Structures are given as C-alpha cells and as structure tokens.
C-alpha cells in the first residue's frame, strides 16, 4: 500500500457548515470533487519545485501541505484509551486552501505544462534523492507505476481540480495518508 494524497474540492456553503459545526467532521460525500494521488504526490511536488526560486518552491510545497487548518486538536486529559485511539483515527484538523490561496496555486500551475514535467523527470534523480516511493521507472510501460506518464497524468488532474476550485471560489481540503 502506498502513501497517497487526496485533494477534496468543497463549496463555500459546505466549508461554512463545517466551520460552524461543533463536531467539525468532514463527510467526503459533501465534496464537489476529489482527486487521489497514489504514491506520486511527492514526486509531483519535487518536479514542480525543480528550477524554481524560493517563493515558488514554498508555494509548490503548500499544494500538498496547507498551513491553514479547520477544526480543533484539543483532547481532554481524562479521555479513555479507546477515546484517544479514536481521536487519532478520526482527524479533527483539516488542512485546507481558502479561495485566495487556490487562486495563487492556479496562477502558478497555469504556467506549468506537461512538457515541463517530462523535461524535469529523471527516474535516477528521483530515486537518488529518495523521493517517495523511491521506485521511479525509466520505462514507460503501460500499467507500470511510478513513471513519467503517470506524473504527467497527475499534473493534469491537479491542474483541473485547482482550476475548477478557482473558478467556483471553492476551498480545497488536502489529506495525506
């Protein structure tokens, strides 16, 4: 099983309901759309940041690592052991991008093409730099994971969800696990 990142597109109405709710439990069915990156988000981040200046690199890092959180991480000290386990299994903090941040991500990604990812891709470099999952392939064999074709596809999916969120002024929740 590989580590993955999922980006959920959420309307302002759903976000506001979550923000005002005491429980702050995110129901994935409430998302307008989502995209799942199976084991590839670290390489996508690496390639997007490659040859960028420091501000652009920070912006790229923020795509999968938002600094804004919705919810609470407060756990009372008298919670039972089972309650503590549940606390860590059901997240109460939801990293997200507000519409203004989505607009910045969109502006950046509009200047990145599939050809840019293809040119920056080097399986040996990704593996040498220990970019997860450290199994990047040179071959472009259909059905074989962790290669340039998969990252170009994932870039298109990333650009699409961010473009659509920007157009609708939606929020993006980002989960890595």
Q: Is the separation of the CB atoms in 63 and 142 below 8 Å?
A: no
Residue position matching structure tokens 């995209």: 35
What does the block give as tokens for 2? 């590989």
Asked whether residue 144 carries a pLDDT value surpassing 90, the answer given is: no
Q: Which residue, chain included where needed, has tokens 């109405």?
A: 13
Mean pLDDT value across residues 140-152? 86
What is the per-residue pLDDT for 177?
Answer: 87
Rounded-to-integer distance, Cα 66 and Cα 96, Å: 6
Tokens found for residue 98: 């507000």
Instruction: Spell out the domain ranges in the chain.
Output: 4-176
Three-class secondary structure of residue 95 per DSSP = strand
pLDDT in tens, 71-125: 755 444 444 555 444 544 455 678 999 999 999 999 999 999 999 999 999 999 9
Query: 4-176 maps to which CATH number?
Result: 3.40.1760.10
Residue 82: what pLDDT? Answer: 54
Measured between alpha carbons, how far is 177 from 70 in angstroms, rounded to an integer?
18
pLDDT by residue (tens digit) across 31-72?
999 999 999 999 999 999 999 999 999 999 999 999 999 875
Q: What is the pLDDT of residue 88?
A: 45
Residue 57's alpha-carbon distances to 63, 108, 111, in angstroms, are: 10, 11, 14
């Amino acid at each position: 099983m590989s580590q993955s990142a999922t980006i959920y597109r959420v309307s302002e109405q759903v976000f506001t309901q979550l923000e005002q709710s005491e429980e702050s439990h995110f129901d994935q069915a409430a998302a307008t759309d989502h995209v799942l990156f199976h084991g590839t988000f670290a390489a996508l981040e690496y390639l997007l940041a490659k040859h960028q200046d420091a501000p652009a690199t920070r912006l790229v890092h923020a795509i999968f690592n938002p600094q804004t959180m919705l919810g609470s991480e407060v756990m009372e000290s008298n919670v039972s052991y089972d309650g503590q386990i549940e606390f860590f299994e059901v997240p109460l903090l939801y990293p997200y991008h507000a519409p203004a941040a989505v607009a910045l991500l969109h502006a950046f990604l509009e200047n990145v093409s599939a050809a840019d990812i293809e040119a920056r891709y080097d399986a040996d470099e990704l593996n040498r730099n220990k970019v997860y999952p450290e199994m990047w392939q040179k071959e472009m064999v259909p059905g074989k994971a962790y290669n340039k074709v998969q990252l170009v596809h994932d870039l298109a999916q990333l650009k699409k969800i961010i473009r659509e969120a920007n157009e609708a002024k939606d929020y993006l929740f980002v989960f890595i696990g």
